[in-house]
Amino acid sequence: MEVNNVELVMSAVSPTQYPTTGYPEIAFVGRSNVGKSSMTNVLINRKSYARTSSQPGKTQTLNFYQVEDQLYFVDVPGYGYAKVSKQEREKWGEMIETYLTQRETLRGVVSLVDARHEPTQDDVQMYQWLSYYDIPILILATKADKIVRGKWNKQESIIKKKLGFNKKDSFVMFSAQTKMGKDEIWKWIEDHAFG
Ligand code: GTP
Ligand code: MG
């Protein structure tokens, strides 16, 4: 998709604040700092539209980015950030769970993991949880530029094994730096948003 217009239309914490236009939505989930905002910027051809930061845990709301007059990208605040209080984490969990289980216009979730490492317990839990609710999932192994090309296949196997990857889901190796994988992500998004 050729993207010219993107707008952050809402930062929501509860369903009453979700957009009401009815466009399909694709959500981005993953640990703090894994690279959700960076990926968003690559997809929409901007350098710094979605705010990237070296401070993990900054995003605390569901951020709805309207892409053209066609769909929303929903940036979900990163999980697994140690410094937030237990109470904040519970609030976070409730907000995410409500969105992911009750949003009728949600068409799929891009779940980001770090290509360099075995997925964390949080990553596995998120994957299993999304699978349980039958939400279409694209596992995106990002920061692939940080490992040599010769190791991509091996890392893919390690990641899939740890997650208990289901063949009905999709997997893409990605780098926000080199933009590898960008076209595959877009194809998956279009297939699920409009398919
Ligand atoms: P939160 O909003 O805190 O949940 O983080 P996030 O998942 O949005 O991560 P963000 O995009 O802000 O990226 C975190 C850091 O990783 C930044 O310093 C990015 O520049 C870096 N980064 C993200 N993607 C890549 C990538 O593909 N390659 C490399 N080398 N660095 C990346
Ligand atoms: Mg972010």
Question: Which residue, 28, 30, 25, 52, is CA-closest to 159?
Answer: 30
Instruction: Please state the pTM of the whole predicted model.
Output: 0.94
pLDDT at 163: 98
Tell me: pLDDT of 27 over 80. yes
Tell me: pLDDT of 190 over 90. yes
Q: Which amino acid is at 6?
A: V
Question: Which residue, 34, 190, 173, is CA-closest to 112?
Answer: 34
What average pLDDT does range 57-80 have in this prediction?
A: 86
Question: Which residue, 9, 17, 8, 96, is CA-closest to 46?
Answer: 8
Cα(195) to ligand 1 centroid in Å equals 29
Domain boundaries, the chain: 6-194
Pocket of ligand 1 (CB under 6 A): 30, 32-38, 52-54, 56-59, 78, 142-143, 145-146, 175-177
What ipTM was reported for this prediction? Answer: 0.99
Interval 71-109: pLDDT, tens: 999 999 887 665 677 887 788 888 999 999 999 999 999
Tell me: pLDDT of 121 over 90. yes
CA atoms of 171 and 169, how far apart (whole Å): 7
C-alpha count within 13 angstroms, C-beta hemisphere, residue 70? 14
Structure tokens at 45: 């051809």
- What's the CATH code, domain 6-194? 3.40.50.300
Question: Which residue, 29, 168, 28, 25, is CA-closest to 104?
Answer: 25
Tell me: pLDDT of 59 over 90. no
Tell me: pLDDT of 129 over 80. yes
CA atoms of 8 and 63, how far apart (whole Å): 7
pLDDT band at 50 (very low <50, low <70, confident <90, very high): low
